[in-house]
């Protein structure tokens, strides 16, 4: 999706002999997430990326669905998810459909003894709390609070956290995550009216090539099962790569909000899109400046989408009793809008410090068993006066 990048050593021509000092050939790998029909990268490995030496029995990670059909506003306290030692075990799916899974995680430890690959879904890791480094076969990306880490499906990676207090919102996308089409030129450059540009994209850097043989476990997720695949060499043995398919970081703090004289509709907050859902960033901004403007959003009927809002920081003028890490779900089919009193209260306000991530899905989300465990039951009727 992003621009062309190159890191490390690569041969002058693709698909030609590229030899090591000892005369042996490096192993070329084409990496893409949509066959040979879209963005790709070419990676050059010290060892072939194919040498599985043994496999473990798979573990079933498919989410347990508690409610498939429902029509009421819901709210969940995301910070009630307990911190867990291991990165993969910490990942709790709360709302899912065939296009995306919304997952909360509070991992305490770095990944020391294994690597991870999601073979099904691109992953967007929104770092609410925590900092560290994501290491992949493409190199390293340092991250901190507010970063989206966008990881194409199939990327082998591991997370290093600097401390134990980490809170992540993870969106698993069963189609490639891209920047909005409306902000791209026909050839893929971010256009002048986009709220961000290529300078805000942070690709991997600091490529370290591990020339190590042994037993390296890559936990690989496929169709909801987690397979333990052991390889005979270190997976980060790449000496160079180039192309347009790679993980990157984008900070929500680099999103430049679009504002106007009157209230701007949610699409101005659009940050990423994928098949049948979008991801929006609500950032601190000046409010509308028409003399009679109403800064609070109007009631609206999202008849064709579920709206999921994840609250990150700041005061939320349209809702009562909002806390950090809270999720609200306004399902398609019934209108929603500001809580009683919020419209009058918003008049005259000059700016907002609110920071939130919104996921709008065009097909309904299902609630998992774990979602019900963190639900705020009073939310459904909280508009009644």
Footprint of Fe ion on this chain (CB under 5 A)?
307
Least distance CB 331 / Fe ion (angstroms): 11
b/e code 82-121 from CB counts within 10 Å (16+ = b): eebeebbebbbbbbbbebbbbbbbbbbbbbeeebbbbebb
Q: How far is the CB of 267 from Fe ion (least distance, A)?
A: 11
Separation between Cα atoms, residue 315 and residue 324, nearest integer Å: 10
Report how many helices (DSSP H) and strands (DSSP E) the chain contains, helices first.
2, 28
Specify the residue, 43 or 280, whose C-beta has the smaller distance to Fe ion: 280
Closer residue to Fe ion in complex, CB, 307/354: 307
DSSP single-letter state for residue 375: B
Cα–Cα dist 237/251, whole Å: 28
Query: DSSP strand E in 78-187: where?
Result: 92-96, 100-105, 115-118, 122-129, 132-136, 139-143, 147-151, 156-161, 167-173
CB of 46 to Fe ion, least distance (A): 50
Tokens 């919304």, residue located: 102
* C-beta nearest to Fe ion: residue: 307
- Our CB check for Fe ion shows the closer of 81 and 296 to be 296
* CB-nearer residue toward Fe ion: 156 or 308: 308
Nearer CB in complex with Fe ion: 254/307: 307
- Cβ of residue 307: shortest distance to Fe ion, in angstroms? 5
- The CA R_g of the chain, rounded to the nearest whole Å, is 22
Q: Which two tokens stand for residue 382?
A: 């909280």
CA distance 110 to 313: 25
- Cβ proximity to Fe ion, 99 vs 307, nearer residue: 307
Distance in Å, CB of 360 to Fe ion, minimum: 8
Least CB distance from residue 145 to Fe ion, whole Å? 25
For the bound state, the minimum distance from the C-beta of residue 309 to Fe ion, rounded and expressed in Å, comes to 8
- In the bound state with Fe ion, the residue whose beta carbon lies nearer, of 147 and 307, is 307
Please give the Cα distance from 58 to 180 (Å, whole number): 36
Q: How far apart are CA 340 and CA 94, in angstroms?
A: 28
Q: Let me know: does 43 contact 31? Beta carbons within 8 Å.
A: yes
DSSP string, 15-27: TS--B-TTSPBPE
- Contact call for residues 174 and 121 (beta carbons, < 8 A): yes
Cβ at position 302, least distance to Fe ion in Å: 6
Closer residue to Fe ion (CB): 166 or 271: 271
């Amino acid at each position: 999706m992003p621009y062309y990048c190159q890191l490390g050593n690569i041969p002058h021509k693709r698909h030609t002999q590229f030899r090591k000092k000892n005369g042996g050939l490096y192993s070329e790998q084409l990496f893409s997430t949509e066959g040979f029909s879209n963005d790709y990268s070419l990676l050059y490995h010290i060892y072939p990326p194919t040498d599985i030496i043994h496999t473990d029995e798979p573990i079933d990670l498919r989410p347990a669905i508690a409610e498939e059909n429902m029509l009421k506003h819901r709210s969940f306290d995301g910070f009630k998810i307990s911190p867990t030692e291991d990165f993969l075990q910490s990942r709790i799916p709360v709302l899912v459909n065939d296009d995306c899974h919304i997952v909360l995680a509070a991992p305490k430890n770095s990944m020391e003894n294994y690597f991870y690959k999601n073979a099904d879904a691109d992953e967007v890791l929104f770092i609410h709390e925590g900092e560290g480094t994501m290491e992949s076969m493409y190199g390293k990306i340092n991250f901190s609070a507010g970063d989206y880490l966008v990881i194409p499906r199939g990327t082998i990676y591991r997370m290093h956290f600097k401390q134990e207090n980490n809170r992540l919102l993870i969106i698993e996308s069963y189609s490639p995550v891209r920047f909005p089409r409306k902000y791209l030129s026909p050839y893929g450059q971010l256009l002048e009216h986009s709220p961000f540009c290529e300078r805000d994209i942070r690709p991997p850097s600091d490529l370290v090539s591990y020339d190590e043989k042994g037993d390296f476990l890559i936990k690989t997720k496929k169709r909801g099962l987690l397979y333990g695949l052991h390889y005979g060499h270190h997976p980060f043995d790449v000496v160079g790569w180039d192309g347009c398919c790679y993980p990157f970081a984008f900070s929500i703090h680099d999103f430049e909000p679009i504002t106007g004289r009157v209230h701007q509709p949610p699409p101005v907050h659009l940050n990423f899109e994928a098949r049948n859902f979008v991801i929006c960033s609500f950032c601190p901004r000046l409010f509308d400046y028409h003399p009679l403007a109403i800064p609070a959003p109007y009631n609206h009927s999202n008849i064709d989408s579920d709206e999921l809002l994840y609250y990150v920081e700041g005061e939320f003028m349209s809702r009562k009793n909002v806390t950090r890490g809270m999720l609200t779900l306004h399902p398609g089919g019934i209108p929603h809008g500001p809580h009683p009193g919020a419209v009058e209260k918003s008049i005259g306000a000059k700016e907002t410090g609110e920071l939130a991530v919104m996921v709008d899905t065009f097909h309904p989300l299902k609630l998992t068993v774990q979602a019900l465990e963190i639900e705020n039951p009073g939310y459904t009727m909280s508009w009644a006066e």
